Structure 1
Amino acid sequence: MQRLTRTHQGALVLLLAGGMLLTGCGGSGNESAADKTSGSGGPRGVQPAPAAPSAAPEQQEDGAQSKEDGDTREVAPPDYLSTFALDVDTASYGYARRLLGDGKMPASETVRPEEFVNSFRQGYERPKGNGFSVNVDGAAVGAGAADWSLVRVGLATGAATDAGERPPAALTFVVDISGSMAEPGRLDLAKKSLGILTDELRDDDSVSLVTFSGEAETRLAMTRLGGNRTKIRDAVDELEPADSTNVAAGVERGYDEAVKGHRKGANNRVVLLSDALANTGETDADAILERIGDARKEFGITLFGVGVGSDYGDALMERLTNKGDGNTTYVGDETQARKVFVDQLPAHVELRARDAKAQVSFDRKTVKQFKLIGYENRKVADEDFRDDSVDGGEVGPGHTVTALYAVRLRDGASGHVATATVRWLDPKTRKAYEETGSVGTGAIDDRLWGGDNPRLQVTAVAAYFADVLRGGDLPGTPTLAELATRAGKLADSTEDSSVAKLATAIEQAEGMRSGDEEKPAGDGEGELG
């Protein structure tokens, strides 16, 4: 289980200084030359991340008292480290698009900026081996936030192996057949998704099928695909909606079947297809996973969540997969189902890294403030970065993970800005590896919207859009109308259909926001007499 970030003696200092936006004072010493390039650096193997230097008492943040003032409290220096577990989830963005398409605004608590950002191709350099590449770049925000920049930390795994070269898969499908799944776009879409996946899997792959409503039932024990595809399709076709939603019973039975059908050397996963609207039995994610904790730990069985439905239990599904060493996505139509179960199948079946974490060390000589955009529920205590018993994220082949920071540079800053380190465990040997990359002021001098980096601009649009939807206040955030225009131009220049869909989603949100602002009081038919 992921350990919560520990409270430390400097908490009062950070609160007085403005929460997550951390301000420090300039240090002395020679500045390094501006780093004009970014990318992976350093050999694989364990290397320490740069430590944040201690601040002298007179360098404390505003509001802190030093011992020279007669205060005997220990005053912690500003924290220039940012540590989080990697997250490849995209469900928050997929669900937001579904709601906006239905004419509804997503609730702010369902909007996770990192999942918006990670829904788009980034164009990062891929590593040659099985580890990560670390790509760090950025740009100046400008337009009312002249001293702010965006710094992008991009982590990428190598491309997926050919379908015939990956290890076999042993997948246990846990399918929600509760009454709420009767709505179009729920059970019918789950059945189509399973049919698509049955066609894509190899003969030496295996599947089992568990359903749940008020209770859980095993419909198909672990079965090899070879010679049994018709049997598997028939079992899927027979699924019909029933009554209540006992997610706990389904997950527990699914893990029981996964253990029974466990295949050594295979990729063993539980795939949960549900609207996650639990209303019967245990409804707390931690308690549900506690009941199958031994199966997760002893057999290394991971959980992949596929969300469906216009009413979707986003929080439960996300918590389940985070604690279940897996990831989650959302499918709203057959096109998205094909993307998940065909195009992205290897990334969802294989694992390239377990318990992966990232730590970014900012240079206090050049950086005045910084803020990680998103990842609020994936934070890890800085001192736990190299504690491999602390839960991280699981990452498959061909995945990219992006962390975007709002960074305020010091006046006249020149030189090193930040060093990013990713640490992960090899899924088979559990050996720890690290890779690093860094960025200097020279690499983030260009203006965001005037520069020649369309993928960074797409990342920025997605992050700003998410921040607006959840009522944030990032420096330099454009209006929804401006974001829609920029997304439209980027869709044309990149010829990327996913960016065009982003532009449409922003336009839909902007239209609803404008309608709310223009709607007159009363019955909506004009001025009251």
Structure 2
Amino acid sequence: MASNYGSDQEMERALREHFEAEAEDLRAPLSLWESIGGRMDLQPTRHPVTQVRRKILGALKQNWFPMMATGGAVAVAASAVFLASRATQDEFSMPEAIAAAAPAAVATAAPAAAAPAATAAPARAMPAATPAARVVIKEVPVEKVITQEVVVEKSVERPVQAEAARRAPPAAATAAPQAAAAQRVATPALARPPATTFQDYTRQPFVATAEDAVSTFSLDTDRTSYQLALSWLQEGYEIEPDSVRAEEWINAFDYGFELPADDWGFAITSDVAMHPLDGSKHLVRIGFQAAEVADDRPLNVTLVLDASGSMGDGNRVDIARSAAEAIRQSLRPQDRLAVVHFTEGVIHELTVEHTSPDASAVQRSIQRLAPHGSTNVQAGLNQGVRLADRIRQERPEAYNYVILMSDGVANVDATNPFAILESAYDRNALNPLRLITIGVGINNYNDVLLEQLAQHGNGWYRYLDNAGQARSTFSRDNWLALSTPFADQTRAQVTWDPDLVRSWRIIGYENRVTSDQSFAEDRKEFAEIPSGAATTVFYEIELHDRALERAGQEVILANVELRWVVAETGQSRSQRTEVSGRLDTGLSASGDPLLEFGAIVALSADRYGGLYDGDYVAEISRDLTELEDRLQSLHGSLGGLGAYQDFRFMLEHMAERARAQAPPAAPTGYSR
């Protein structure tokens, strides 16, 4: 197992040296520590919480924590811990003591962190003069399970915004537009939240069919990239282009695809329309709609809960508790539930092995989730997989889910998703363990880890922004659908007709595109599709003149094949159909406003994701402005949907940012 201990020591030493040189005036006098320590020694030693107070006091005395080293802040923190210990006369365990002290400490620390500093010293334990770093991870092909190389690029210093004030749950697709508008934040957009990590993918290029007429990719039902972007804007932050995965924006919406006639396979539909931004191109949409099936097989569920210190930011613990409790309440009597807490290691006293969801031990364990310590995701997942494998052997007829709830900030042992998965590898392909990752938090968030764990762990990835959203996501009806797998290892292959199609490019799916040869293989990184779920893909294509001559006819442009493994039986299946449509139909004339809406979403995400490419900023700005106008034209048919209102809010900010970054127009030579 890899260890980060050495690098942590280097960081701590560098920070300590910095503050010894730069922040001497912020260190509390020794007499203050001795006074507080003396007061604490007068408390009854029979309470184990005294040890917790001493640990907190010891942490406050460290040179690398100057923000809390001022006399007033120290007194408040010490008082909070003291009051927590006086709140009960019962003996505390270590997690209980921390759970009791954490709310008071967070309540006093949040205003202090948000208030302007009295001096030029930093409000966090980092050198004030050092610009924030944007973490960019070089992309790795899907089929290569290797350690990713992390490159830290210097960037302009980014502002920090407190996460204490949280918004209401995002509007559902049927919510009134007033409800969606009420959630918006009127403050000017800032830069990205600090310490967020995303994969910086290169957008897919156009491919000439003369060179390669085949497009192969894994399906995807995740929508976290869109949910994160919406949450950022509602918190007053800008959307970072490198956080955009266009396929997750596309698949965040319901396009009303018809269900298949039976529950055997998928309904595959295709549409062709003239390109709204380029008259020389066309758009193709392909939709894959899974059947809705009822499956009464029991479930074995293992909750792996991140209890590390970073989970104390904002309302992360509240979200994780609410999600865990919602899952517990949605389980049936025949299901079994286990709970694992982890920090720098597994908290064994809070571990509950698989039992009835209604067991009091399960409920107590969920409620005792409290943040402290470092983050060893590997240890937590290893323990979760061990418990899940044990119950799978005892109950082989059940589906098996391991659900990780975390902000993804792993900093102990393995921190790379592939290294973590290797240590917790599941070799049972017939009845696999399905890894679901649930992300929480705004600042200090590792999207790469959570997304890759789910993708290569035969599961799916969701982001939760608040406790209400957690409860609705895992309501009984939603959970029954999400926990009923319809298809495993699901992938598609589109073969374009080179006589009609000159070139093609897929929008998004950068980390889902795979080699044509892999299409014949059943592989874990290919998607799990839950019952009733849909996946949508858009292509931009260029046609030969001979195809354009048939513009008024129904034209077959490609064939598409879908392959998957039946979750219930392990049997491999495939399905084929044609991709066809009329070439003279514009989006507005298609008669389907959801087709046009989906095209606007796809193109907006695709263009905005390339905003860091300075050579095309003017073109991107122009495209986003035109898409903004097109979206406005759909207000009459879709304006009553909360989803439309939310995306309109996002596109307005995206277009404005692009216009602000675009170079000024060249002078024409004419007078005004």
Please state how far the C-alpha of 1:19 moved relative to its aligned partner: 7.6
Contact 2:457–2:525 (Cα < 8 Å) also in 1 = no
**Aligned-partner Cα distance in 1 for 2:429–2:637:** 46
Tell me whether 1:365 sits opposite 2:509 in the alignment: no
CA distance in 2: counterparts of 1:136 and 1:385, whole angstroms = 21
Residue 255 of structure 1 pairs with residue 388 of structure 2: no
> Which residue identity is paired with 1:274?
S
The one of 239, 250, 269 equivalent to 2:369 is: 239
CA change 1:19–1:113 in 2 (3 A) is: closer
SS in structure 2 at match of 1:265: coil
8 Å contact from structure 1 (residues 217, 253) kept in 2: no
1:314 to 423, 447, 460: 447
Listed as ranges, the matches of 1:516-527 within 5 Å are none
Which runs of 5 or more residues in structure 1 are unaligned?
A: 6-17, 25-76, 520-529
Residue 509 (structure 1) aligns with: 654
- Residue of structure 1 equivalent to 2:175: none
The one-letter amino acid of 1:264's match is P
Q: 1:146 and 1:476 mapped to 2: Cα distance?
A: 16
Q: Which amino acid aligns with 2:465?
A: G
Q: What is the SS of the residue equivalent to 1:293?
A: coil
In structure 2, distance between residues paired with 1:489 and 1:198: 44
In 2: Cα distance, 1:486 partner to 1:334 partner: 35
Q: What's the secondary structure of 1:378's corresponding residue?
A: coil
1:458 paired residue among 582, 597, 606: 597
CA-to-aligned-CA distance 1:115-156 (integer Å, 9 cap, x gap) = 11011002112121142121111211145x112111111111
Q: 1:518 to 1:147 in 2, by over 3 A?
A: closer
Which of 202, 206, 213 aligns to 1:21? It is 206
**1:241 Cα deviation from its structure 2 partner:** 0.5
Contact 1:84 1:358 in 2 (8 A): yes
Matched residues, percent identical?
Answer: 29
The 1-side partners of 2:463 and 2:523 are apart by: 29
Contact 1:179 1:243 in 2 (8 A): yes
Give the CA deviation at 1:496. Answer: 2.5
Equivalent residue, structure 2, for 1:448 = 587
Q: Structure 2: how far apart are the matches of 1:257 and 1:242?
A: 24
Once the two structures are superposed, residues 349-373 of structure 1 have per-residue CA deviations (whole angstroms, 9 ceiling, x without a partner) of 1211111110001111111111011
User: What is the rounded CA distance, in whole Å, between the counterparts of 1:191 and 1:488 in structure 2?
Assistant: 39
Secondary structure at the counterpart of residue 403 of structure 1? strand
Aligned to 2:356: 224
1:94-119 CA-to-partner distances (Å, cap 9, x unmatched) read 11111122222233332110011011
**2:247 aligned with 1:102, yes or no?**
no
Alignment partner of 1:123 is 2:267: no
Q: Which has the higher contact order (CA 8 A, sep 6+)?
A: 1
Residue 642 of structure 2 is matched in structure 1 by 497
* Residue correspondence of structure 1 range 410-421 to structure 2 within 5 A: 410-413=544-547, 414=550, 415-421=555-561
Return the TM-score normalized by structure 1: 0.79
The C-alpha deviation readout for 1:238-275, integer Å capped at 9, x for no partner, is: 11101211111111111111112223221210011111
Query: What is aligned with 1:83?
Result: 216
| Structure 2 counterpart of 1:406, from 540, 548, 559 | 540
CA distance in 2: counterparts of 1:514 and 1:368, whole angstroms? 32
Tell me the distance in 2 between the aligned counterparts of 1:291 and 1:485.
Answer: 50
| CA separation of 1:192 and 1:518: change in aligned 2, threshold 3 A | farther
Q: State the one-letter code of the partner of 1:184.
A: G
Given that 2:503 and 2:542 are in contact with CA atoms closer than 8 Å, whether structure 1 keeps it comes out as yes
Q: 1:318 to 1:256 in 2, by over 3 A?
A: same
Contact kept, 8 Å, 1:346 with 1:396, in 2: the verdict is no
Which of 154, 157, 160 is 2:287 aligned to? 154
Larger radius of gyration: 2
Please give the secondary structure, in 1, of the residue aligned with 2:211: coil
Q: 1:205 deviation in Å?
A: 1.6
Residue-by-residue CA offset, 1:379-404 (whole Å, 9 max, x unaligned): 22112212235742111101101111
Alpha-carbon offset, residue 440 of structure 1: 2.6
| Structure 1 letter corresponding to 2:637 | S
Deviations 1:419-466 (A, max 9, x none): 111111112332221112222342x43112343111212211221221
Equivalent runs, 1:432-443 vs 2, <5 Å: 432-442=572-582
Q: Which has the higher helix share?
A: 2
Distance 1:500 1:489, change over 3 A: farther
1:264 aligns with 2:402: no
Identify the residue that residue 304 of structure 2 maps to in structure 1.
Answer: 174
Preserved CA contact (<8 Å) 1:305 1:317: yes
Aligned twin of 2:567:
427
Rate the CA distance shift 1:267–1:253 in 2: closer, same or farther, 3 A.
Answer: same
Matched residue, 2:527:
393
Q: Distance in 2 between matches of 1:513 and 1:499?
A: 21
1:457 maps to amino acid = E
Report the alpha carbon displacement of residue 482 of structure 1 after superposing the two structures with TM: 4.3
Could you tell me how far 1:499 is from its partner in structure 2?
2.2
Query: What's the offset of the Cα at 1:210?
Result: 0.8
1:207 paired with 2:207, answer: no
Following the alignment from structure 1 to structure 2, what is the Cα–Cα distance between the partners of residues 433 and 299? 17
| RMSD of aligned Cα (Å) | 2.7
State the 1:518 CA deviation.
11
Aligned twin of 1:112: 245
Structure 2: runs of 5+ lacking an equivalent: 1-140, 146-202, 665-672
Once residues 323 and 457 of structure 1 are traced to their aligned partners in structure 2, the CA distance between those partners, rounded to angstroms, is 33
How many Å apart are 1:516 and its aligned residue? 6.4
User: What's the CA shift for 1:80?
Assistant: 0.3
Give SS of 2:588's match.
coil
Contact 1:100/1:509, CA 8 A, preserved across alignment = no
**CA separation of 1:142 and 1:196: change in aligned 2, threshold 3 A:** closer
* TM-score, normalisation: structure 2: 0.62
Residue equivalent to 1:527: none
Residues 517 and 2 from structure 1, CA distance in 2 versus in 1: closer, same or farther, beyond 3 angstroms?
closer
**How far 1:237 sits from its partner (Å)?**
1.1
